[in-house]
Amino acid sequence: MPDSLEIVPSPAPPATAVAIVVYDRLCTFEFGCAVEIFALPRPEMGAGWYRCRLAAAEPGPLTATGGLRVEVDGGLEVLDTAGTIVIPGWRGAEEPVPEALCHALRQAHGRGARLVSLCSGAFVLAATGLLDGKRATTHWRYLEALQARYPRIETVADVLYVDAGDVLTAAGSAAGLDLGLHLVRRDFGAEVAVRVASRLVVPLHREGTQRQRVERPVAPARSAAARLAGLLDEVLATLDQPWPLDRLARTAGSSKRALHRQFVAATGQSPGDWLIDRQLARVCELLAEPGHTLADIAQATGFDSASTLRHHFRRRLATTPSGYRAARHERQSRPRAGDHC
């Protein structure tokens, strides 16, 4: 018998093994966002898709906003086998975080799990100390409180989410879907993320650096808003045509500077970013149809060349058009066990 035994650490759980932390007075919307991304059955994605369990942060009956009661798969021991842990909000900025939950999260992170917070869930991660020295965000209403209470965190204002590698934080409410789709893209590629976004009927992709708060014009700007709406409709109907900023402003009857302000106020994006997103959404539709060359698709979507299309496609979707098309065809050739949102 050997004098000593070598202890081999257990491998970290896969990132696709997901645990959602549930607590009393659960934030129902943020919880729903986490469920839509990680817990909804998607048999068409194959056996490697996310497997999700619910972990109670505390004993006793657990309620959610709206009077719902939540049943869970277990307590904090569920986190032991999770490679991704999602904290969908918290009871409030002033509410203490149980030390047992903090300890379990630190232990899981030490084993290699990535931690994800949505909205006020950032206060839970902050309480663990794992956000110290890292960039993080939360809902704009809670940013000052987070910065004041945890000054060692590099709080980032007015972004949708922050990816710090193994710790990720999202802003309020629907930004949880943006961060979730970002993780789908990290885990499974752009083509799968586009499919999930399409099922959820949400934008193709919103960068984490996009603004949280979109200030909308009030009644005095109604005529300008109406002109902008008409412009957007015209652009979408003629995506095969070039739409430089000069033409956009001329069609809207506005200066370029005023048009930029109106676009940001109404959409949260610059005119150029908004246009490229719509062009790429149409590109994805055409790539799914047989018989189109990349040059044909570039011409049909307003890009001046196939190389320009490739550049924007790779920058926004982290893959190539050919890679997207191949992955889509491969998945379409697999038998589908069901049809879920």
As a whole number of angstroms, the distance between CA 287 and CA 325 comes to 6
**Strands annotated E in the chain:** 17-22, 51-56, 62-64, 68-70, 84-88, 114-118, 135-136, 154-155, 161-163, 167-170
> Cα–Cα distance between 84 and 198 in angstroms, integer?
23
Which tens digit of pLDDT belongs to each residue from 10-63?
A: 667 899 999 999 999 999 999 999 999 999 888 878 889 999 999 999 998 999
* pLDDT, tens only, 138-195: 998 999 999 999 999 999 887 889 999 899 999 987 888 989 988 998 898 877 887 7
Chain position carrying tokens 């032991």 = 80
Segments making up each domain of the chain, as ranges:
17-200, 219-331
Kindly report the average pLDDT of the chain as a whole number: 84
Using CA atoms, how far apart are residues 299 and 155, in angstroms rounded to an integer? Answer: 43
Q: State how far Cα 131 lies from the chain centre.
A: 19
245-257 pLDDT, tens digit each: 999 988 888 899 9
Per CATH, the number for 219-331 is 1.10.10.60
Tokens of residue 53, six digits? 């369990």
The rounded distance, in Å, linking the Cα atoms of 331 and 290 is 15
| Residue range 62-108, pLDDT digits in tens | 999 888 999 999 999 999 999 999 999 999 999 999 999 999 999 99
Q: Exposed, middle or buried by CB within 10 Å (0-12, 13-18, 19+), for 318?
A: middle
Tell if the pTM clears 0.85, that is, is over it: no
Spatial distance between the Cα atoms of 120 and 117, rounded to a whole number of angstroms: 8
**CATH number for the segment(s) 17-200:** 3.40.50.880
- pLDDT at position 111 is 93
Helix (H, G, I), strand (E, B) or coil at 62: strand
The pLDDT of residue 322 is 87
pLDDT at 319 over 90: no
What distance in Å separates the CA atoms of residue 296 and residue 313, rounded to the nearest whole number? 15
| Residues 162 and 169 sit within 8 Å (Cβ to Cβ) | yes
Phi, psi of 67, rounded to the nearest 5 degrees: 85, 10
Compute the average pLDDT of residues 310-324: 87
Please name every residue paired with 20 in a beta bridge, in sequence order, or none if there are none.
54, 86
